[in-house]
């Protein structure tokens, strides 16, 4: 039996696993690991509990945040929280604007299973008018070199929602000038 082929990048290992089911990964120190394709499945029945309105919102094309109900506070969270991180009072759901701006971003060359096929992809922190916290979300339809701090972006929703965070991403606002 011929030895599995050796690679020094994990992307090449992944491609070889697709082809033959096994590969050897040689790391920067020269250490060689045998890598096999080992499908593993689990059915997980998950309750979104108090996060339910957020995911139902995505399926309706609405991005929900939450705002503090405390008197004199009103802090707006772009990543919803059940209670205010400033004053501790309960929050209420609120619809966020469809448009925001890039606060920061990074390019992901690896990701969790749901996003692995999209790598490399851009992950952004988006800021919204009036909100005191940021939303971490994927940014599509642009390359890394086109992104800049303050870039206007707008939400897109999966027309076939799966009730997951993958149901939303942002794209640059067309015609916006730097
Ligand atoms: Zn508050």
Q: Are 126 and 153 in contact (CB under 8 A)?
A: yes
Distance 71 CA to ligand 1 centre (A): 8
Task: Output the pLDDT for position 113.
Answer: 80
Residue 117 pLDDT greater than 90, yes or no? no
Protein residues within 5 Å, CB atom, of ion ligand 1: 68, 70, 73, 75, 84, 86-87
Task: Output the pLDDT for position 178.
Answer: 76
Rg from Cα positions in the chain: 21
Task: Please give the average per-residue pLDDT across 137-148, as a whole number.
Answer: 95
Q: What is the pLDDT of residues 90-101, one digit of tens each?
A: 999 999 999 999
Task: Please give the average per-residue pLDDT across 44-50, as a whole number.
Answer: 94
Predicted structure pTM score: 0.79
Q: Which residues 6+ apart lie within 8 Å of 34 measured at CB?
A: 4, 22, 23, 24
Task: Please give the average per-residue pLDDT across 96-122, as a whole number.
Answer: 93
Distance 54 CA to ligand 1 centre (A): 20
**Residue 147: in which H helix or E strand, if any?**
none
Distance 90 CA to ligand 1 centre (A): 8
CB atoms inside a 10 Å sphere around CB 10: 14
């Amino acid at each position: 039996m011929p030895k599995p082929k050796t690679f020094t990048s994990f992307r090449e290992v992944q491609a070889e696993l697709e082809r033959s089911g096994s590969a050897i990964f040689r790391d920067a120190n020269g250490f060689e690991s045998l890598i096999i394709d080992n499908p593993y499945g689990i059915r997980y029945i998950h309750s979104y509990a108090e996060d339910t309105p957020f995911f139902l919102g995505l399926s309706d094309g609405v991005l929900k945040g939450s705002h503090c109900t405390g008197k004199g506070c009103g802090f707006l969270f772009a990543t919803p929280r059940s209670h205010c991180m400033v004053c501790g009072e309960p929050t209420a759901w609120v619809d966020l604007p469809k448009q925001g701006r890039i606060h920061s971003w990074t390019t992901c060359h690896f990701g969790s299973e749901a996003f692995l096929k999209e790598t490399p992809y851009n992950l952004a922190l988006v800021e919204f008018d009036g909100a005191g916290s940021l939303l971490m979300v994927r940014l599509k339809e642009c390359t890394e070199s086109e992104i800049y701090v303050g870039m206007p972006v707008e939400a897109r929703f999966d027309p076939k929602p799966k009730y997951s965070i993958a149901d939303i991403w942002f794209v640059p606002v067309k015609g916006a000038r730097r």
